[in-house]
Structure 1
């Protein structure tokens, strides 16, 4: 029986497409859906991941398979955008910015320097923020962040985020869609943690300069 025929959860639109993909391809379908979500941010992982957990609860694949394939999909999608950023390169970005009105190359330099200092944290926590999880891969490529380092922090951040929603969908079963309203709150918590960490780093640097 198709997993679309089971349960009372909404299966139209994006949910129906994702369920059909997982029904046809199993765990690979879940990974493909998440890889596409990384490249096309309007596809929400907050829907796809609980659906993967729901599909696992129906026996379409195992819970471990859901976590493995969705995390692999996150890595593949992120590496695609990382490669794009690396191909474009900093020199091309600088030339493009130099032609833009009201934008200074110095602003780009400051942003690039910030990423070189905090890139690992940005990549890790960025996996937990919509849109940003896709965009962060590009400056990582532009600044030529070591690919092993990018892959490691992408894997760690993705595994944390994916596990929360896949396991929730697995536990909730037919009620997987009840996870989505909590996603926004969780994202705000992540943003707040990052903001506090950045503020603390700035304060420490200012104190050390004053004491020097």
Structure 2
């Protein structure tokens, strides 16, 4: 539970903000989460659901506020990705071993699979926080990105809030259980990165051998 222990102070901060500010606190924290700042939506929305169970506001209101906040935060990350492509990646990408061909690959990927990628990753822990950056880098159409982001955020936000309502005072138990889903996604991401690195090295080796 190392990850849980590291994030505990952030979780407690999220709870304190929602407790003190109510729905404006939910909005603030969910904007940060979608703007690539690691504030776990699980803590924010589960605790918001607990507040719903106590009658402080409705399930619909909490879901609407959390989803709209995610959209606003995603716009921030999307803008950073889009601006960073020109100011950083295209001008200085070679220093980070990022070639123009890599950017063109991202363009083709989002042109072909961008809709499904943005929509479905909004319902995945960890990935949902950062997907706006590559969407911005690939210059995905802004309003299509916005609509798919909002549609993808609603089930995630509603689900977490509903769990918080059902759990009531046991919302922290559910939060801890959801950490295992974080671990699974993180492990899959690491495995995917390792696979890509290994494949790239194999291709480079094959090319070198073919040129001999």
TM-score (norm 2): 0.73
Could you tell me which runs of 5 or more consecutive residues in structure 1 were left unpaired when the two chains were aligned.
Answer: 1-11, 196-212
Does 2:141 align with 1:166? no
CA-based RMSD of the aligned residues comes to: 2.7
Distance 1:64 1:148 in 2: 24
| Structure 2 equivalent of residue 39 of structure 1 | 35
Does 1:73 pair with 2:47? no
Query: What is the 5 A alignment of 1:59-138?
Result: 59-90=55-86, 92-101=88-97, 103-138=98-133
Larger displacement relative to structure 2 (36-45 or 161-170): 36-45
Displacement after TM superposition at 1:51 (Å)? 0.9
The residue aligned with 1:203 is none
Relative to 1, partners in 2 of residues 1:35 and 1:88: Cα closer, same or farther, differing over 3 Å? same
For residue 92 of structure 1, report the CA deviation from its aligned partner: 4.2
| Aligned mates of 1:133, 1:24 — CA distance in 2 | 26
CA distance in 2, matches of 1:21, 1:182: 21
Higher helix share: 2
Contact 2:32–2:38 (Cα < 8 Å) also in 1: no
TM-score by length of 1: 0.73
* Number of aligned residues: 180
CA distance in 1, matches of 2:147, 2:61: 20
Distance 2:29 2:105 in 1: 35
Q: Is the 8 A contact 1:49 1:166 kept in 2?
A: yes
Structure 2 residues not aligned, in runs of 5+:
1-7, 193-212
> Of the candidates 23, 44, 48, which is equivalent to residue 44 of structure 2?
48
